[in-house]
């Protein structure tokens, strides 16, 4: 599957028609289309990008769709309010209420279920449960064999644990880490039939540990799937030269190159905003300094060659950087 970049003309206006407090610091938002009756179809694992204008700048955050793919009347997303918010989750929690209008991108899916799998093992940590809400609905409709392992700090922080358990029964296992319960990864990966696929979404450490355990157990990479939703890391501010636009853009401490470039009125293609999809790959025309590649897309060889930069996640330290934008 090759992901398609978001074109800015395709943005969709939605109205928030319901907001529910689901757990500590987690709110669920239901989004209904304003200009049409239906929203675009999507598959489990898909995400949208929500645009938020806070008066000074436009924040764009990707969120997994958690509602059933069978319903395109509305979309549902869940937002965890993070302490070190870069603005997005705080905006959603404090400034969005029923009636608020927002712009979103059409859905894109970088974490689809593997239709030919014999069995699906879904592993979620905390708010990483959201893509699996849509996936379990889809897998259940298709009659596919799946199991969900969902780790949360405590019952009160685990949004949806109870509801999932009620709907899917034994197929769902819950782990409360505050009680010392851990997902038994090595057991989970043992003696599985050929054609079993693993999907993981959660904290970075959990993702890495699942992928490492899988590799050590001899699983091919084709059967290991993950979705990371890291915000772009901050760092010292710097200036980037956009050759085609003939602009010098200042990239602040807490913003990505992509965000700074968008604020300057230039709109490069993007899809995941998390360094995995490859859409915002940008050619480096010249540089005097070091690029900090924070993406999961470029290969070691491409990084060494230094000709490309994933501007949604990566940063620069040095005297000058000129991009083909």
Partner 1 sequence: MLRMLLDAPDGFAGRTHLLYVASDKSPVPELNRLRSLGTDRIDVLGSTDDVLRRLDGLLTTATMGTRLYAAGSEGFVGRVVVIAVSHGIDHKSVLTEHSGSRARRVQCVHCKHITEDVTVSILECAGCGVLLFVRDHYSRRLAAFQGVCANAEDPSERPVPQEAYV
* Of 48 and 117, CB closest to partner 1: 117
Q: Select from 132, 148, 4 the least CA-distant residue to 68.
A: 132
Per-residue CA distances from 188 to 33, 62, 123, 183, 207 (Å): 41, 30, 10, 8, 15
DSSP assignment of 22-39, as one string?
EETTEEEEEEEESSSS-P
Identify any residues that bridge with 78 across adjacent strands, giving them in sequence order: 28
State the nearest-atom distance from the C-beta of 219 to partner 1, in Å: 6
The answer to whether 88 and 81 have CB atoms below 8 angstroms apart is no
The total of other beta-carbon atoms located within 10 Å of residue 178's CB is 11
DSSP assignment of 50-95, as one string?
EEEE-SS-EEEEEEE--S-TT--S-EEEEEE--TT--SHHHHHHHH
Is residue 196 part of the contact set for partner 1 (CB under 8 A)?
yes
Is residue 170 part of the contact set for partner 1 (CB under 8 A)?
no
Is residue 217 part of the contact set for partner 1 (CB under 8 A)?
yes
Q: Select from 121, 98, 93 the least CA-distant residue to 224.
A: 121
Is residue 223 part of the contact set for partner 1 (CB under 8 A)?
yes
3-class DSSP state of 226: strand
Is residue 288 part of the contact set for partner 1 (CB under 8 A)?
no
Kindly indicate which of the ranges 51-59, 138-146, 179-187, 212-220 contains the residues binding partner 1, using the contact rule CB under 8 A: 212-220
Is residue 143 part of the contact set for partner 1 (CB under 8 A)?
no
Pair of tokens at residue 294: 């924070």
Binding residue for partner 1, selected from 16, 135, 185, 189, defined by CB under 8 A: 189
Kindly indicate which of the ranges 77-85, 94-102, 220-228, 256-264 contains the residues binding partner 1, using the contact rule CB under 8 A: 220-228
Residues 1 to 30: which contact partner 1 by CB under 8 A?
none
- What number of chain residues touch partner 1 (CB under 8 A)? 17
* Of 45 and 158, CB closest to partner 1: 45
Centroid of chain to Cα 105: 13
* Of 97 and 115, CB closest to partner 1: 115
Kindly indicate which of the ranges 65-73, 134-142, 193-201, 279-287 contains the residues binding partner 1, using the contact rule CB under 8 A: 193-201
Is residue 284 part of the contact set for partner 1 (CB under 8 A)?
no
Binding residue for partner 1, selected from 25, 192, 254, 303, defined by CB under 8 A: 192
The answer to whether 16 and 5 have CB atoms below 8 angstroms apart is no
Is residue 218 part of the contact set for partner 1 (CB under 8 A)?
yes
* Of 164 and 189, CB closest to partner 1: 189
Binding residue for partner 1, selected from 3, 147, 219, 241, defined by CB under 8 A: 219
Residues 93 to 132: which contact partner 1 by CB under 8 A?
116-118
The answer to whether 49 and 144 have CB atoms below 8 angstroms apart is no
Is residue 212 part of the contact set for partner 1 (CB under 8 A)?
no
In sequence order, the 6+-apart residues with CB closer than 8 A to the CB of 325 are 242, 243, 244, 245, 261, 266, 268, 282
Can you give the binding site for partner 1, defined by CB under 8 A?
116-118, 189-196, 217-220, 222-223
């Amino acid at each position: 599957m090759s992901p398609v970049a978001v074109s800015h003309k395709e943005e969709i206006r939605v109205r928030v028609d319901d907001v529910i407090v689901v757990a500590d610091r987690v709110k669920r938002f239901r989004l209904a289309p304003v200009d049409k009756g239906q929203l675009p179809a999507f598959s489990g694992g898909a995400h949208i990008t929500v645009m938020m204008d806070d008066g000074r700048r436009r924040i764009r955050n990707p969120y997994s769709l958690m509602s059933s793919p069978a319903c395109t009347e509305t979309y549902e997303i869940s937002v965890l309010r993070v302490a070190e918010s870069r603005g997005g989750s705080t905006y959603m929690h404090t400034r969005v209420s029923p009636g608020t209008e927002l712009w979103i991108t059409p859905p894109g899916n970088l974490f689809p279920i593997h239709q030919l799998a014999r069995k699906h093992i879904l592993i979620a940590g905390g708010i990483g449960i959201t893509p699996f809400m849509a996936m379990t609905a889809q897998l259940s409709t298709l009659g596919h064999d799946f199991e969900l392992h969902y780790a949360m700090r405590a019952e009160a922080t685990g949004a949806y644990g109870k509801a999932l358990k009620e709907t899917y029964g034994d197929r769902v296992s819950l782990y409360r880490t505050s009680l010392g319960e851990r997902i038994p990864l090595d057991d989970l990966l043992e003696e599985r039939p050929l054609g079993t696929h693993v999907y993981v979404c959660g904290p970075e450490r959990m993702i890495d540990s699942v992928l490492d355990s899988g590799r050590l157990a001899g699983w091919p990479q084709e059967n290991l799937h993950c979705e990371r939703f890291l915000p772009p890391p901050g760092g010292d501010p710097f200036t980037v030269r956009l050759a085609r636009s003939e602009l010098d853009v200042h990239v602040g401490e807490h913003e990505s190159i992509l965000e700074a470039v968008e604020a300057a009125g230039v709109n490069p293609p993007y899809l995941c905003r998390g360094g995995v999809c490859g859409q915002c790959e940008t050619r480096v025309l010249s540089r005097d300094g070091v690029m900090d590649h924070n993406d999961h897309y470029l290969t070691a060889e491409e990084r060494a060659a230094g000709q490309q930069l994933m501007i949604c996640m990566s940063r620069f330290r040095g005297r000058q950087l000129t991009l083909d934008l």
